[in-house]
Structure 1
Amino acid sequence: MTPEHAPARPLDMQRVLVLEDSQEDAEAIERAVSRTHPHLRLEFTSRGEGLVDRLLATPEVPGIVLLDLNMPGMSGYAVLKSLRARPELAEMTVVVFTSSTAPAEVDACYAAGADSYIYKPLNFDLFRTVLKGALDYWQQNKGQSAGPSSPSVK
């Protein structure tokens, strides 16, 4: 079967793949999600190289990807484009979660197929609230129960 006709991989909405090179931000994401969504399993990687091949080698893929743009090696934008180039990964929700607020980057990410673009707040309480809203929204959007209702983030 050719890649353009390959079926989408089943989603595991209890798994969130986090691409983040900052250890401090990765720890903040882990703390925030463990408080708001303790049932989710987070998987962390700091590099995008080889990610598509690793995902294609698994029978199920994470339902949500939190993607930092500014990473060493393969940029988050390049990761986004490589994920969206594979029909088998088309159902994965990609949330760009980054410190960049440049309008050109926001537009480029949406044009490349990002589902959401969210700025990382510096204040931890706001960081946790924004992250919770994004996870709740996308879990509910994919037909999963995410717990108590919260404002939509998109």
Structure 2
Amino acid sequence: MTLRVAVVDDNAMDRQLATEAFSEACPACTVDLFSSGPAVLSHLLTAEVLPDVLLLDLNMPGFSGFEVLTSLKADPRLAQIPVVMFTTSSASRDVAEAYALHASSYVVKAPSFHAFLDQVEAFVTYWQLNRVSRAGPGGA
């Protein structure tokens, strides 16, 4: 079974880098890109198949990653999706808030493409080995 990943980031360059990194690290992965919190929430609320994991940027205008995370965890169907905060912020208050809101993990984006690719490869390996099938509608 292929890994299904949703990436939410308002920065077009970061979405492009994610596309390139996932293409290289996991050509068989299904990667859906979203430019905002409302866009991913709208998609997930009607999606027949949910992602295995969601990579979520923290600092987005209008609807922050924290607000997206809160909305996901408030919906019984979407609360099952593991959420990895994938952001440039290394502030301890942001890390603490993410875990308080039930993020599965918190990763600070690497500054270079090579290091970013290493992060994506490690992410793919981890989630391919450790994902849990979800029962019910949209479950893998």
Is residue 2:37 matched to residue 1:41?
no
Q: Which residue of 1 aligns with 2:137?
A: none
Is residue 2:112 matched to residue 1:130?
no
TM-score by length of 2: 0.87
Unaligned runs of 5+ in 1: 1-11, 145-154
Q: Partners of 2:42 and 2:20 in 1: how far apart?
A: 29
Larger proportion of helix: 2
Is residue 2:106 matched to residue 1:117?
yes
Determine helix, strand or coil for the equivalent of 1:101. Answer: coil
Cα distance, 1:76 vs structure 2 = 0.7
Unaligned runs of 5+ in 2: 134-140
Select 1:94's aligned residue among 83, 95, 98.
83
Q: Which residue of 2 aligns with 1:9?
A: none
Cα distance, 1:56 vs structure 2 = 2.2
Q: Partners of 1:33 and 1:126 in 2: how far apart?
A: 13
Cα distance, 1:143 vs structure 2 = 5.0
Select 1:18's aligned residue among 7, 16, 40.
7
Two-structure CA RMSD over aligned residues (Å): 1.7
Is residue 2:54 matched to residue 1:65?
yes
Question: What is the aligned-residue identity percentage?
Answer: 38
Cα distance, 1:49 vs structure 2 = 1.6
Is residue 2:20 matched to residue 1:31?
yes
* 1:4-51 deviation digits (Å, cap 9, x = unpaired): xxxxxxxx8632111011111111111111001000111111111253
Do the aligned partners of 2:8 and 2:40 also contact (CA within 8 Å) in 1?
Answer: no
TM-score by length of 1: 0.80
Select 2:40's aligned residue among 48, 51, 63.
51
Q: Which residue of 2 aligns with 1:104?
A: 93
Q: Partners of 2:49 and 2:4 in 1: how far apart?
A: 10
- 1:69 counterpart letter in structure 2: L
Do the aligned partners of 1:83 and 1:90 also contact (CA within 8 Å) in 2?
Answer: yes
